[in-house]
Amino acid sequence: MAAPLVRPRHDRKIAGVCAGLARRFGTTPTTMRVLFVVSCLLPGPQFLLYIALWILLPAEDTYREAW
């Protein structure tokens, strides 16, 4: 079973979005961060998507309390 999509409390650099995505998809946080930076070089709403995920994804502590 895949890990839930939450922002972890540890291993954050800014908001924990890349670390949460990496945990969910089974890769390293560094790989996810590099992919995000490279994707920002392409046209598109990547930065806005990051901010939206920052707002919408629950923090790991909040997620555990809810379950």
Show me where the domains of the chain are located. Answer: 27-58
pLDDT at 5: 87
Give the residues of the chain that fall short of pLDDT 70.
1-2, 63-67
Taking Cα atoms as reference points, which of 30, 3, 1, 6 lies closest to residue 16? 6
For every residue of 31-51, DSSP letters joined together read: HHHHHHHHHHTSSSSHHHHHH
Taking Cα atoms as reference points, which of 49, 66, 57 lies closest to residue 6? 57
38 CB-near residues (< 8 Å, 6+ apart): none
pLDDT at 67: 54
